Amino acid sequence: MIDKIPVRCILLWLILVIAMILHFNYHIGEIFYGIDIVRPEANGTIPIGTHLIRNIFYHLPFLWILILLYFNSKIVRLGLFIISIIYTLSHAMHLVGEMTNPDLSQVPLLTITLCTSFLLNYEQYRYMQSS
């Protein structure tokens, strides 16, 4: 029988990755409507911070999913629970930051992302507590 908790965790991590891809897509999608999204300091190179954000919010969740698929130790369960809390704090801070200049697409997406992140915390906690 398949344990539903890690499957839920995997699906929630995937939803968060999709939400972050949509978040970025909404930013660049403004080009379609003729909005100039070029940053004043842009010089044609991608900043290190952008690479960090991509690695943290796009790539690392795939690693967490692989860990969920192949490892089941207590330390792994605890680690993923702690990591999920860190992601939730980040999503909450991002949503609060977005409220300074609310966007009618970003705010609902980031709200759903934060709610999904809370669900992930709950499921990761349940998985950590399971034997």
86-110: per-residue pLDDT in tens?
Answer: 999 999 999 999 999 999 999 999 9
Flag whether 104 is in a domain. yes
Residue numbers of the domain that contains 104 = 4-32+47-129
Higher per-residue confidence, 9 vs 34: 9
Q: At what angle do helices 60-70 and 74-98 cross, to 10 degrees?
A: 150
pLDDT value at position 2? 63
Rounded Cα gap, residues 38 and 110, in angstroms = 22
pLDDT value at position 20? 95
Which of 24, 82, 8 lies closest to 57 in space, CA to CA?
24
Flag whether 109 is in a domain. yes
Number of domains in the chain: 1
Mean pLDDT value across residues 11-32: 91
Residue 131 has pLDDT above 80, yes or no: no
Rounded Cα gap, residues 51 and 45, in angstroms = 11
Rounded Cα gap, residues 72 and 52, in angstroms = 28
Flag whether 90 is in a domain. yes
